């Protein structure tokens, strides 16, 4: 028994370490690479139609690689935009998404689009084209073109079905500076038309994809990239950050109290047992 007494702190330390390690272990190791755009909640006004506003400097940027659209004819095998940098901000009512890409020249046919799934149905990133074994949904596309100086709110479900909505909800603006396009898209987080518009609920991850067209004229006087000939990404994630939630601290405090109480009762019982 003497030996036991000498070894106690050791053993209990090891057992304690195990309890801690065991409780920790199942939650470790799930970190993913950066695959999403996080639109932070701002107090005050959004830079809704100002791609160069200072407010954007505080928003974290995500960058996504782009590929030439090779999925469906007419294909293109080389595109100007190699990647797109994306930032987001929201004020609880409206959301603004700023995209930036390098383009050596400003052309009237330069264009960009954001694409979203609508509701819970998974949609293919190429215009929500039909899939063999999954009943896919439509996509909501926000399309900006330099010469139109406006943003079109559109839908598609398969190739050749792209259509502008009657109810236009998206506004924004593009600015070309020093070889870089910056375009901001702004819309209400939620709209009345859940059938055609993506709904953005703070805290939820939704899917987003990007497309960029370099409208520079080729030798025949046609835009180099047009229609299905564009730079694209597949789906990534977008989230409007929820307001800070402190309930975790409350539950933690409650748990500490309960554990301490449990401990107190157990030790009192042990002491009583020892003294009888």
Partner 1 sequence: MKGGSLLKPAILNVGIYLFLKFVLPLFTAPLPASLIFLYVALTATGIVIFATLSGQSTEAFFGPITRFLSGEGQAGVMKMARLLVLVLFPLLVGWQTYSSTAPSEVPPAENRTIHPAPPGEFVGLSNPIPNTPENVMAGKGLYAAFCSPCHGGNFDGKGPASKGFNPPPANFSDPTTIAMLQESYLFWRIKKGGVGLSIEGMPWKSAMPRWEVELKDEQIWKIIMGEYDGAHQKPRTWE
107-166 residues in contact with partner 1 (CB under 8 A) are 122-126, 129-134, 136
Contacts with partner 1 by CB under 8 A: the residue count is: 88
Closest CB 244 distance from partner 1, rounded Å: 10
Instruction: Provide the β-strand partners of residue 36.
Output: 237
State which of positions 64-103 bind partner 1 (CB under 8 A): 64-68, 70-73, 77-78, 82-83
Nearer to partner 1, 95 or 123 (CB): 123
Which stretches of the chain are DSSP H helices?
Answer: 2-24, 247-275
- What the block records as the tokens of 216 is 């520079």
Closest CB 265 distance from partner 1, rounded Å: 12
State which of positions 221-240 bind partner 1 (CB under 8 A): 231-237, 239
Closest CB 52 distance from partner 1, rounded Å: 26
Would you count residue 5 as binding partner 1 (CB under 8 A)?
yes
Residues 181-220, one symbol each (x = binds partner 1 by CB under 8 A, - = not), give ----------------------x-x---------------
Closest CB 133 distance from partner 1, rounded Å: 5
96 half-sphere exposure, CB direction, 13 A CA radius: 24
Q: Are 226 and 211 in contact (CB under 8 A)?
A: no
Nearer to partner 1, 5 or 219 (CB): 5
> Residue from 45, 177, 217, 254 that binds partner 1 (CB under 8 A)?
254
Closest CB 96 distance from partner 1, rounded Å: 21
Closest CB 182 distance from partner 1, rounded Å: 20
Would you count residue 243 as binding partner 1 (CB under 8 A)?
no
Nearer to partner 1, 75 or 147 (CB): 75
Q: How does DSSP assign the chain, residue by residue?
A: -HHHHHHHHHHHHHHHHHHHHHHHGGGSS------EEEEEE-SS---TT-TT-GGGGGSPPEEEE-EE--SSSSP-S--S--EEEEEEEE-SSEEEEEEEEE-SS--TT-EEEEEEE-TTS---TTTT---SSS----EEEEEEEGGGTEEEEEEESSTT--EE-SS---EEEEEEETTEEEEEEEEESS-S-TTTS----TT-EEEEEEEEE---B-TTSSBSS-TT-SEE---EEEEEPPPP--HHHHHHHHHHHHHHHHHHHHHHHHHHHHH-
State which of positions 24-43 bind partner 1 (CB under 8 A): 25-32, 35-36
Nearer to partner 1, 65 or 179 (CB): 65
> Residue from 192, 195, 274, 276 that binds partner 1 (CB under 8 A)?
274
Nearer to partner 1, 44 or 250 (CB): 250
Where do we find the tokens 């949609």?
A: 123
């Amino acid at each position: 028994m003497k030996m036991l007494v000498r070894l106690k702190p050791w053993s209990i330390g090891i057992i304690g370490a195990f309890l801690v390690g065991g409780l920790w272990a199942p939650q470790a190791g799930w970190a993913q690479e950066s695959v999403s755009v996080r639109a932070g909640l701002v107090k005050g006004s959004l830079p809704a139609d100002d791609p160069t506003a200072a407010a954007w400097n505080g928003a974290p940027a995500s960058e996504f690689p782009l590929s030439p659209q090779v999925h469906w004819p007419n294909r293109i095998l080389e595109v100007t935009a190699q990647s797109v940098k994306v930032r987001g901000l929201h004020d609880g009512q409206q959301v603004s998404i700023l995209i930036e890409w390098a383009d050596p020249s400003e052309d009237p046919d330069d264009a960009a689009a954001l694409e979203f799934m609508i509701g819970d149905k998974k949609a293919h990133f190429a215009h929500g084209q039909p899939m063999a074994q999954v009943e896919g949904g439509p996509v909501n596309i926000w399309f900006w073109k330099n010469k139109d100086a406006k943003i079109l709110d559109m839908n598609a479900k398969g190739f050749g079905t792209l259509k502008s909505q009657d109810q236009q909800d998206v506004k924004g603006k593009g600015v070309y500076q020093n070889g870089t396009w910056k375009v901001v898209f702004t819309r209400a987080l939620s709209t009345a038309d859940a059938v055609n518009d993506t709904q953005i609920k703070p805290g939820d991850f939704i899917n987003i994809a990007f497309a960029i067209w370099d409208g520079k004229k080729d030798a025949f006087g046609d835009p180099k990239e047009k229609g299905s000939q564009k730079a694209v990404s597949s789906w990534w994630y977008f989230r409007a950050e929820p307001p800070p939630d402190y309930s975790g601290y409350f539950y933690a405090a409650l748990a500490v109290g309960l554990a301490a109480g449990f401990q107190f009762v157990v030790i009192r019982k042990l002491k009583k047992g020892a003294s009888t």
